[in-house]
């Protein structure tokens, strides 16, 4: 009786509020998390180069970035904690039914987080208190734990796309196999795609800061190195991400054909399906798109005449919102190829004269590459999450059946938005304060000045 009362109290507005709150929280946190994954590797690399070459410029950058890394780690810990509470508060239907199935990756992520937290503290505090090589080694667990943390969390999301590791008997979850659940078919492409994206966001994001400085006339070695190292890492990964994206598309063709149909706006099951560039899905068809004949069949199945399943394979109420998925995917791909081209521009200039491109347009594009990489990553998550709708556990549980049935979720949404507004202002303020103080000088530089 109580369940029926609570279910009656829930409204469609509460479902929208819960989804909005989760989407906003995840979208905010994932930006910080990308720097948590990608930034430690860049910091440790710069410190390693300083030890190998004796060049203080590398150490100055490593120390400067480490301060920002510490701030972002602290902020990410707050936003990640909010997300962990939201999983239980907003989606008790999911956690109550399947918590024991997907509990393992969340537990392992907790261990990775604590390892990262411990060594971030050691790394920042002990820089001048440990021998240089010992201090460098304390940074390696941060790199490994950051990547591992992202891997474990994404495996849980991959499970939601390809649920495995349990049996259903009369609607009850039995015979739970946590390792099988964690290493489901979606795990390899989805985790690799996310981790590569994290390094790209961190690389292009850091480089964008120095690109802005160079546009303002700061062409010293500090700014050149601060730009070149992270930009090169991200630019090298950009074409790798294109290949990983193709791998993910093949996965969708085999395991989530309805999501692929939404991505392409393919209304009907088609042999020799075209690849659509642009377009808007109106009244059951994709309009105003540029079509490349047979290209979708070729990309999805390595056969230009292969059959690609369309949206008509599912009832209308079980189809994802096509325009949101299709346009988000188009945006992600457009930015991705733009970043590949930008990296190619640098490569050509460097091979010709061992220097950056001389056109200011390159620096403007590099400055925009930081936010563009974030936008592409967010668009990719929209494709992943909205493309699975209306399922929260693909093929097993609808999102509406997992939401908290208590009324008043709109109030919670307002509170969370206010919290994130404060977090955003505080984070920007602290990072700008660090930027005004300028680079952290290495001890050898200070001793030379004395």
Mean pLDDT per block of 10 residues along the chain (450 residues) reads: 41 79 89 91 92 88 90 87 83 85 90 91 89 91 93 92 88 87 93 94 94 87 90 94 90 90 89 87 86 88 88 88 92 94 91 85 93 94 91 89 81 86 89 76 52
Q: Could you tell me the two tokens for 125?
A: 């505090």
Mean pLDDT of the chain: 87
Q: At which residue do the structure tokens 């440990």 appear?
A: 130
For 131-178, what is each residue's pLDDT tens digit?
989 989 999 999 999 999 999 999 999 999 999 889 888 878 888 899
Contacts of 62 (CB under 8 A, 6+ apart): 43, 44, 46, 47, 50
Residue found under tokens 């000045």: 449
Cis peptide before 390 (omega within 30 of 0): yes
Cα 298 from Cα 337, distance rounded (Å)? 19
Closest CA to 375 of 427, 340, 328, 428: 328
**pLDDT (tens digit per residue) in 197-213:** 999 999 999 999 999 98
Q: Which token pair is 365?
A: 């594009």
Q: At CB < 8 A and 24+ separation, what contacts does 440-444 make?
A: 440/60, 440/63, 440/64, 440/66, 440/67, 441/60, 441/63, 442/50, 442/56, 442/59, 442/60, 442/63, 443/128, 444/56, 444/59
CA gap 44, 226 in Å, rounded: 14
Question: Mind giving me the DSSP string for 4-33?
Answer: HHHHHH--HHHHHHHHHHHHHHHHHHHHHH
Which pair of structure tokens corresponds to residue 306?
A: 């292969």
Looking up tokens 């985790």 gives 191
């Amino acid at each position: 009786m109580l369940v029926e009362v609570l279910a009656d109290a829930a409204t469609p507005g509460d479902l929208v509020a819960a989804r909005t709150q989760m989407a906003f929280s995840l979208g905010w946190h994932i930006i910080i998390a990308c720097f948590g994954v990608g930034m430690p590797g860049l910091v440790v690399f710069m410190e390693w180069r300083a030890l190998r070459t004796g060049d203080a410029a590398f150490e100055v950058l490593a120390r400067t970035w480490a301060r920002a890394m510490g701030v972002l780690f602290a902020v990410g810990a707050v936003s990640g904690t909010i997300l962990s509470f939201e999983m239980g508060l907003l989606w008790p239907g999911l956690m109550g039914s399947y918590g024991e199935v997907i509990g393992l990756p969340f537990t392992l992520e907790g261990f990775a987080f604590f390892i990262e937290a411990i060594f971030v503290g050691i790394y920042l505090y002990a820089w001048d208190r440990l021998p240089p090589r010992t201090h460098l080694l304390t940074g390696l667990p941060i790199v490994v734990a950051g990547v591992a943390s992202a891997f474990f969390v994404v495996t849980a999301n991959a499970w939601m796309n390809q649920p495995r590791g349990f049996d259903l008997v009369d609607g009850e979850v039995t015979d739970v196999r946590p390792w099988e659940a964690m290493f489901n078919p979606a795990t390899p492409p989805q985790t690799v795609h996310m981790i590569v994206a994290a390094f790209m966001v961190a690389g292009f994001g850091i480089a964008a800061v120095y690109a802005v400085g160079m546009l303002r006339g700061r062409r010293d070695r500090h700014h050149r190195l601060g730009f070149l190292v992270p930009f090169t890492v991200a630019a090298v990964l950009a074409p790798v991400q294109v290949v990983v994206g193709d791998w993910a598309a093949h996965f969708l063709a085999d395991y989530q054909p309805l999501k692929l149909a939404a991505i392409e706006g393919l209304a009907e099951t088609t042999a020799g399906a075209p690849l659509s560039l642009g377009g808007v899905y109106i009244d059951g068809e994709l309009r105003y798109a540029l079509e490349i004949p047979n290209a979708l069949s070729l990309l999805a199945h390595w056969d230009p005449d292969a059959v690609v399943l369309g949206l008509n394979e599912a009832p209308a109420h079980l189809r994802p919102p096509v325009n949101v998925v299709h346009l988000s995917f188009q945006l992600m791909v457009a930015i991705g190829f733009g970043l590949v081209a930008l990296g190619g521009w640098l490569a050509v200039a460097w091979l010709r004269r061992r220097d950056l491109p001389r056109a200011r347009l390159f620096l403007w594009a590099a400055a925009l590459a930081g936010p563009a990489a974030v936008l592409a990553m967010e668009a990719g998550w929209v494709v992943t999450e909205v493309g699975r709708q209306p399922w929260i556990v693909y093929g097993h549980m609808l999102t509406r059946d997992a939401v908290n049935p208590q009324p008043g979720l709109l109030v919670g949404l307002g509170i969370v938005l206010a919290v994130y507004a404060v977090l955003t202002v505080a984070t920007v303020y602290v990072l700008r304060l660090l930027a005004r103080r300028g680079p952290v000088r290495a001890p050898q530089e200070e001793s030379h000045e004395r």
